[in-house]
Amino acid sequence: MYDKIILALSLEHGFAEQALETAKRLGGAGAEVIAVHVYVPPNASVSTYLDEDLVRKAYEDSERELNARVAGVPGVKSVMLKGHSSRTITEYAAKIGADAIIVGSHKPGLSDYFLGTTAARVVRHAPCAVVVLR
């Protein structure tokens, strides 16, 4: 049983229900469950050409969608983070003393074998247990 569980949610994929069920099984009634989405801001060379309001709106839309995914689920709070996905998730896990991270994975493509997926990087660098869902 884990006391503090991070659900690393990608808003582009729909594994939130499966992740929530897994967190319930792993944590039990008293576990703290934190649904996390990492917003990856546009890099500097791209952001030069983007309207600041557009970037802010994209962040706010992501935050709204994250909150909607966990709305009405007792014991789950949502946290938006900014940065590089895998690094930000593992740093946040270390910062809050997480016992486990639940992260989704997809069938890897050719580029994933060279670069690695977010899930693979979280597995390699996490300071705690990691559960990977397909």
Please report, for the chain, the start and end positions of each structural domain, with discontinuous segments joined by +: 4-133
pLDDT of 38 reads 93
Question: Looking at the domain 4-133, which fold is it?
Answer: Rossmann fold (3.40.50)
Instruction: Give the pLDDT confidence of 49-89 residue by residue, as tens digits.
Output: 777 888 889 899 999 999 998 888 888 899 999 999 999 99
Pairing of strands 76-82, 100-104: unpaired
In this model, does residue 8 exceed pLDDT 60?
yes
Q: How many residues does the chain have?
A: 134
Contacts for 66 with CB less than 8 Å, ≥ 6 apart = 9, 11, 35, 37, 78, 80
In this model, does residue 105 exceed pLDDT 70?
yes
Q: Which of 102, 96, 95 is nearest to 129 (CA)?
A: 102
Amino acid at 63: E
Highest average pLDDT, of 61-65, 68-72, 93-97, 102-106, comes from: 93-97
Q: Are 104 and 10 in contact (CB under 8 A)?
A: yes
Q: Which of 33, 32, 40 is nearest to 10 (CA)?
A: 40
Q: Tokens 């060379």 — which residue?
A: 45
Confidence (pTM) = 0.85
Highest average pLDDT, of 42-56, 91-105, 114-128, comes from: 91-105
Q: Which of 131, 134, 132 is nearest to 2 (CA)?
A: 131
Distance between CA atoms of residues 50 and 69, nearest Å: 28
